[in-house]
Structures are given as C-alpha cells and as structure tokens.
A = this chain, B = another copy of it.
C-alpha cells in the first residue's frame, strides 16, 4: 500500500524541480511516510492515472488520488493524524493559505523572471515546445526577453523576501520553533530556484539562506542531494 508521488522533471529524471511537488515531498517526509517519487516530463502528465490532472503533484495513496499541493497536505493531515502535524491547529491550517498567496503571488513571479530560460534548457524538445508556448502566452513576453533581463531580476530578488526576514527576526521557522507546511510552501519556491539555476541568489549570511539551509538539512539532507 505504498504512496506514489507523481512530480515534474526535465530530461534528467534525477532532478525533479517543481516547487509544488517539493512542498509535497517535504510534507511526506515530515509525516514520516514512505513514498515512491515518479518524476514526469510536462507532456507525460496527462498519460498517468487516466489523465486525472494536467498538472503535478498527483498523489496516489492506495485508493485515494489527490492533486494540488495544498489539497495533498490537507489530505495527509487528515489521513495520518497520529504523525507529526503539518499545521499545528486550525489557525495554522487557515493561515497557510495566505502564506501560499505570498509564495505564489510575490515569490514565484520574482523567481520566474530569473529562472524561466534555465527551466526551458532542462527540458526535452517536445516539452520545450509546450513550455515556450504556454509560458509566453501566460506572461506576454518571450523567453528571450526574460533572459535579457536576468541580471535586473536577480538584483530585485532579495527584496521580495523581506516578509520572511521580518518573521525570522522573531523565530526560526514560519511554524515557530519547528518547520510546518507553511515553511515548505516557501521552501518549494527556493528549491525550484536552486535546482533550475544552481543558486538561490542570496548572500550566505542572509537569514533566508540560513533558514533554507536548515530545511535542506532535514531528513538526512535528502533535499540537498538534488541540485
């Protein structure tokens, strides 16, 4: 009755890079659950589990099939209540949605401006076609435009993490003394940046770098092994 996580990769299956899938990987490890990760190329996603979702993560746990990272976290919290909590109460569960809003509306766009050409370069030709068309349509700019502005985007990047630094002046994790799913939400974004571009583009003594390092160290440095 093993758990299967369908995640996202480019040509190299050993380097899954999706921020949303990394949230789920961290959540599964947090819960102490065994799972098999099956990284898929973009265009391979509709071929698994009878095309249940056009995006990953998709989680299969015995007869349960769940897609969307937040829905998966809620599923795991309810299905495995004895394992360490991902939210530590109703207030934490609710506030995680605003953390997701911060990550997806502020952090992700800033990363996209840096990493889009790098992501494209990781993909097989058929996925490059899909990626270029879908992203250029969504963003209204060509990949080459993004590449030309890369240095400007890297210079602007640290300022978008000010909310995180404010929090880190008071406590070590968004979850308080220990990390919770809210930490993994933002971690997923930085891990995406790290794997696709080779760096999180922050000074090593930045409090955000130190926080990120603590999360890479969890579970025998499992997340650090992939780079």
Shortest beta-carbon distance from A176 to chain B in Å:
3
Q: Is the interface of A mostly helix, strand, loop or mixed?
A: helix
Q: Which of A98, A163, A176 has the most CB of B within 10 A?
A: A98
- Chain B residues within an 8 Å CB radius of A171: 94, 97
Contact with B along A168-182 (1 / 0, CB 8 A): 001101111000101
Q: Which residues of B are found within 8 Å of A166, using beta-carbon distances?
A: 97-98, 100-101, 104-105
Say how far A201's CB is from chain B's closest CB, in angstroms: 19
Partner of A91, one of B91, B100, B102: B91
A-to-B contact residues, CB < 8 Å: 85, 87-102, 104-106, 162-167, 170-171, 173-176, 180, 182
Given contacts A92-B92, A101-B167, A102-B163, 18 further A-B contacts (CB under 8 A): A88-B89, A88-B94, A89-B89, A89-B91, A91-B92, A91-B93, A91-B175, A94-B173, A94-B176, A94-B180, A98-B98, A98-B166, A98-B167, A101-B164, A101-B166, A102-B102, A105-B162, A105-B165
